[in-house]
Chains A and B, each alone.
Chain A
């Protein structure tokens, strides 16, 4: 089985501090990582490979993709990686990323299964997976929490607002997953060492045959500001009895608790 996993390098929101005056994020001081749900997608792809043979290819695109992060993905058990790292993707939106990733996947070969996170931790756009499917003329299923291989194709379960939906799907297909599907493995030292020999193929953006329109973002980001809520931050001290008394009287005084 040929499995392609789309992974995105993002800023780690935990390290993205706002400028106290403008509230804009200070990107220069933030750390980068692979987007959370993409690791779940990768874990699922690797498990499929372990059960049914085949290979797992990591597919990634961005303005400045760090090889170190791609090595992390390879260390988890992927076989090789294809990367488009190009400054022109600085302001790419879902449209542009889907065009680039779909073309890159097609360049690598015809995948039986394409997996990716249901959304990225930075943009939270919930669109790259289904857009890639549309571009490749494939069906998609989002928010998958379980995948079983069947005689012909897969049986997948989705976690929806109204319940758990069960679908039978044929390959090739694009599936998006979230936290619920698995716990991504932490690569051992041995796997990390083995990963240094796995190929990371860098692909020039030009070679994908995309036209200007396909590389023109539809969405423009005008501003990004920290969502700050000022809190009182009163620490209630004293013995258990005193603290309970103080807290209760504050809540009653503010009309939050009725006695």
Chain B
């Protein structure tokens, strides 16, 4: 086993990715990052022997070429990036060019002899698979799961500049901001989740009121943010949204389809409020109330308020 190459377009993910490979047993860790030298000081503390800097604008295709070039000179056993949309594409292209395996969106990684053993969710988040690939291998790891840890007496890494390959076929036009409310559901202790059982956008006020009373955040199913746009995309929970792990998850008017449930498996306690006793969410819950949300919520909120003022 030789070293590990970390690649990330965005510098912020570097500390946790470096920490993850160091924990897996890699000592020679190098970083390819899409940024300039000014901000590199912050990542040096995590233990790097070399930093490859790629400045300026570049496409994923040309970042993948840079991953390949660095790998060919450094010959790492593991080439690892954060599981973001950009980095998964970069991982796949680099792996194809290097003629090696690619494991995207891993939950855990572990060295096992001459190969890397990982766990990943499959079948829409309903199963977990243990998979293995011989070195060298390209991997992306889910973000927000490894607490970055600085190493004591980290030495200064060598800095090497990489020129982006020009690719005329894909031209960047602009990055548009999307509606976001700066909420991070992955860190919430209590989540009150809104499903299609809510008939009108205004009715979400009921869930917001409950969330205020219990000190939680409001989340939702995909139709609420994606199709109806009643709440912002960063509140969408499930397979194609956020994977959350609160102490308490209150699902209101949520049917509990597999794609939604995939994102709430980490919840300690799940409460379902749904008027259909056959809704699948009841099988995934600790407490089920089979009732109309419009009738139940006002009564429950009132009781909660009274209990607090007593």
Which B residue's beta carbon lies closest to that of A170?
Answer: B169
Contacts of B60 in A (CB 8 A): 130, 140-142
Within 8 A of A (CB), among B39-87: 59-61, 64, 84-86
CB-CB under 8 A from A134, the residues of chain B are: 64, 92-93, 96-97
- Contact between A257 and B178, CB atoms less than 8 A apart: no
Stretch at the interface among A57-65, A188-196, A233-241: A233-241
A225 contacts which of B128, B134, B285 (Cβ < 8 Å)?
Answer: B128
- Bitwise, A113-127 to B at CB < 8 A (1) or not (0) is 000000101111111
A149-182 at interface with B (beta carbon < 8 Å): 155, 158-170, 173, 178-180
- Taking CB atoms, residues of chain A closer than 8 Å to B178 are 163-164
Give chain B residues whose Cβ lies under 8 Å from the Cβ of A160.
84-86, 175
Out of A125, A155, A165, A250, which one reaches B104, CB within 8 Å? A125
User: A161-B85, A222-B117, A227-B128 in contact; A235/B290 too (CB < 8 A)?
Assistant: yes
Tell me which residues across on chain A come within 8 A of B230, comparing CB atoms: none
In whole angstroms, how far apart are the Cα atoms of A135 and B92 in the complex? 11
CA distance A185 to B120 in the complex (A): 32
CB contact between B177 and one of A141, A163, A170 (< 8 Å): that residue: A163
> What is the number of residues of chain A that contact chain B, defined by CB distance less than 8 Å?
83
CB within 8 Å of B: which of A229-256?
A: 229, 231-237, 240-241, 243-245, 247-248, 250-252, 254, 256
Contact check: which of B10, B93, B99, B269 meets A256 at CB < 8 Å?
Answer: B269
Residues in A with CB closer than 8 Å to B103 are: 125, 219
Q: How many angstroms from the CA of A219 to the CA of B103 in the assembled complex?
A: 8
Contact of B85 among A158, A225, A241, A259 (CB under 8 A): A158
> Which among A169, A223, A233, A252 has the highest number of chain B CB atoms within 10 Å?
A233
Instruction: List B contacts of A93 (CB < 8 A).
Output: 101
Interface size class of B (residues with CB under 8 A): 35 or more
Chain A binding site: helix, strand, loop or mixed by DSSP? mixed
Our pick among B123, B173, B175, B222 for the contact of A162 (Cβ within 8 Å) is B175
A168 to B174 CA separation, bound complex (whole angstroms) = 10
Q: Which residue of B lies closest to A160 (CB)?
A: B85
Asked if A70 lies at the interface with its beta carbon under 8 angstroms from chain B, I say: no
Query: Assuming A140-B61, A240-B291, A248-B307, is B176 touching A163 (CB within 8 A)?
Result: yes
Interface-facing stretch out of A11-19, A44-52, A73-81: A11-19
Say yes or no: B285 contacts A233, CB within 8 Å.
Answer: yes
Q: Is the CB of A169 within 8 A of B171?
A: yes
Q: Are A221 and B130 in contact (CB under 8 A)?
A: yes
Cα–Cα distance between A202 and B304 once the two chains are bound (Å): 65
Stretch at the interface among B22-30, B152-160, B294-302: B294-302
Kindly provide the distance from the CB of A28 to the nearest chain B CB, expressed in whole angstroms: 15
Q: A160-B85, A256-B248 in contact; A235/B170 too (CB < 8 A)?
A: no
Give the shortest distance, in Å, between B216 (CB) and chain A (any CB): 9
Q: Residue A224 contacts which of B10, B86, B127 (CB distance < 8 angstroms)?
A: B127
Q: A122-B123, A127-B91 are in contact. Are A240 and B172 (CB under 8 A)?
A: no
Give complex CA distance A204, B177 in Å: 48
Interface membership of B132, Cβ < 8 A: yes
Is A8 close to B, CB under 8 A? Answer: no
Bound Cα distance from A174 to B132, whole angstroms = 28
Q: Is the CB of B84 within 8 A of A161?
A: yes
CB within 8 Å for A223 and B130 given contacts A131-B95, A167-B172, A251-B248:
yes
Nearest CB of chain B from residue A255's CB, rounded to whole Å: 9
B131 and A94 contacting across the interface, CB-CB below 8 Å: no
Q: Is the CB of A169 within 8 A of B169?
A: yes
Q: Please state if A166 and B174 are interface contacts (CB–CB under 8 Å).
A: yes
Residues of A within 8 A of B126 (CB): 13, 16, 226-227
Contacts A141-B170, A165-B172, A244-B303 aside, 8 further interface pairs with beta carbons under 8 A come to A98-B96, A122-B123, A131-B93, A166-B176, A169-B171, A213-B99, A231-B285, A233-B288
A-B contact pairs, 14 of them (CB 8 A): A95-B99, A125-B104, A126-B104, A127-B104, A141-B60, A218-B100, A233-B282, A241-B299, A243-B296, A256-B190, A256-B247, A256-B268, A257-B214, A259-B307
Please list the residues of chain A having a beta carbon within 8 angstroms of any beta carbon in chain B. 11, 13-14, 16, 18, 25, 93-95, 98, 119, 121-131, 133-135, 139-143, 155, 158-170, 173, 178-180, 213, 217-227, 229, 231-237, 240-241, 243-245, 247-248, 250-252, 254, 256-259
